Amino acid sequence: MDAAHELIWSYSYGAVTIEAICERARVKKGSFYYFFDSKSDLAVAAINDWWTERKALVEELFRSEVPPLDRIVKYFDYVAQLQLQAYEETGQLLGCPLFTLGSEICTQDNRILSLIQEILSFGPRYFEEAIRDAQVSGECEGSNAALKARLLWAFYEGTLTRARIENNPDLIRSLSTDALELIGARARMAVVA
């Protein structure tokens, strides 16, 4: 599953073959078919495995005990760190594996697409709760937390996708400060910068 995740994220679902996955995982093709009926089955299992690990981390970052704007900053800093680490190792920004895979297979595999949509629905919820808490504490301007969360999520999706397309690490380096600016948390800008 790690090999599938790594190869699909680094290249694309369509470009990665079962043979390449087996070679990377150092298993025989027959072993693959013992556990999975298809590449699609493996992709679903790999996404579920990735999300189980990632969800625990996200829930830790977005605990209600953490100050609201710190939740957002820590999340974006974590994402930026992962992206920049991949860039240093491979010379390529990889973006979000779910955004990339979802865009690629949206008309090809409904099972994978449904799983990706389900996972991606969590993001705006975490942002909305943090923004709402920041508005209550006076750290964030405005009143429509749901709208700000959707805009912040769209910014996140767009920035990671654009960074991958342009292979531009500068777009990633300013994720936290840009996110705070977007939601009207100007008082925190000096702290993050």
What is the pLDDT at residue 109? 83
Sequential DSSP letters for 20-63: HHHHHHT--HHHHHHH-SSHHHHHHHHHHHHHHHHHHHHHHHT-
Q: Is the pLDDT of residue 188 over 90?
A: no
State residue 186's pLDDT score. Answer: 61
CB neighbour list of residue 84: distance below 8 Å, 6 or more residues apart:
169, 172, 173
Position 190 scores a pLDDT of 40
Helical pair 2-10 and 97-105, crossing angle rounded to 10 deg = 70
pLDDT tens per residue across span 117-150: 999 999 999 999 999 999 999 999 888 999 999 9
Cα distance between residue 83 and residue 89, in whole Å: 10
Q: pLDDT grade, residue 157 (50/70/90)?
A: very high
Q: Report, in angstroms and rounded to the nearest whole number, the Rg of the chain calculated over CA atoms.
A: 18
Joined together, the tokens standing for residue 177 give 């400060």
Q: Which of 6, 4, 23 is nearest to 92 (CA)?
A: 6
Low-confidence winner among 65-79, 96-110, 170-184 (lowest mean pLDDT): 96-110
Residue 100 contacts residue 13 (beta carbons within 8 Å): no
Residues in the chain: 193
Report pLDDT digits (tens) over 62-94.
999 999 999 999 999 999 999 999 999 999 998
Residue 172 pLDDT class (50, 70, 90 cuts): very high
**Domains of the chain, first to last:** 52-192 (1.10.357.10)
Residue 63, both tokens: 């605990």
CA distance 93 to 83: 6
| Whole-angstrom distance, CA of residue 97 vs CA of residue 12 | 9
Provide the pLDDT for residue 104.
Answer: 82
Q: How many CB atoms lie within 10 A of CB 191?
A: 12
Confidence check: pLDDT of 189 > 50: no
pLDDT at 158: 94
**pLDDT higher than 90, residue 107:** no
Q: Is the pLDDT of residue 43 over 90?
A: no
